[in-house]
A = this chain, B = another copy of it.
Amino acid sequence: MTTDSIRFAHRFDGISGSAIREIFKLLAVPGMISFAGGNPAASALPDEQCAELARELLLTKGKTLLQYGATEGYAPLRESLAPYLKDRFSFSCAPEEILPVTGSTQAMDLLCKALIDPGDKVVVENPTFLGNMQAIRLYQAELVPVDSDEDGVKVDELEEVFKREHPKLFYVIPTFQNPTGRTLSLPRRKKIAELAAKYGVVVAEDDPYRDLRYAGEELPSIKSFDTEGWVAFMGSFSKVISPGLRVGFLAANKTLLRKCIIGKQSSDVHTANLNQAIVDEYLRRGLLAPHVERICRSYAEQMNTMLGLLAKCGGVARYTRPQGGLFIFAELEEGMNAADLLMQCVDKGVAYVPGTHFYPFGGHENTFRLNFSMSSVEQIKAGMEKLNQVFSSVKA
Contacts and interface: CB of A to CB of B under 8 A. Distances in A.
Interface string A253-265: 1011011011101
Contacts of A135: 266
Interface stretch (A103-111, A325-333, A379-387): A103-111
Contacts of A52: 55
A54 B58 contact: yes
A246 B47 CA distance: 21
Contacts of A371: none
A245 B66 contact: yes
B262 A114 contact: no
A265 B134 CA distance: 9
Given A259-B12, A274-B275, A39 B68 contact: yes
Nearest to A7: B168
A134 B262 CA distance: 9
A122 interface: no
Given A47-B66, A68-B39, A198-B1, A244 B272 contact: yes
A88 interface: no
Nearest to A51: B58
Top 8 closest pairs, chain A to chain B, by CB: A47-B62, A51-B58, A66-B242, A135-B266, A54-B54, A55-B55, A45-B66, A244-B273
Interface of A: 1-12, 15-18, 21, 37, 39-40, 42, 45-48, 50-52, 54-56, 58-59, 62-69, 71, 102-103, 105-106, 108-109, 113-117, 120, 131, 134-135, 138, 168, 197-200, 202, 228-230, 238, 241-246, 253, 255-256, 258-259, 261-263, 265-275
24 contacts: A1-B230, A3-B253, A8-B259, A10-B117, A12-B259, A15-B262, A16-B262, A17-B265, A47-B58, A54-B54, A65-B244, A66-B242, A66-B244, A66-B245, A68-B238, A69-B244, A102-B267, A103-B269, A106-B267, A131-B269, A243-B269, A246-B268, A246-B271, A268-B268
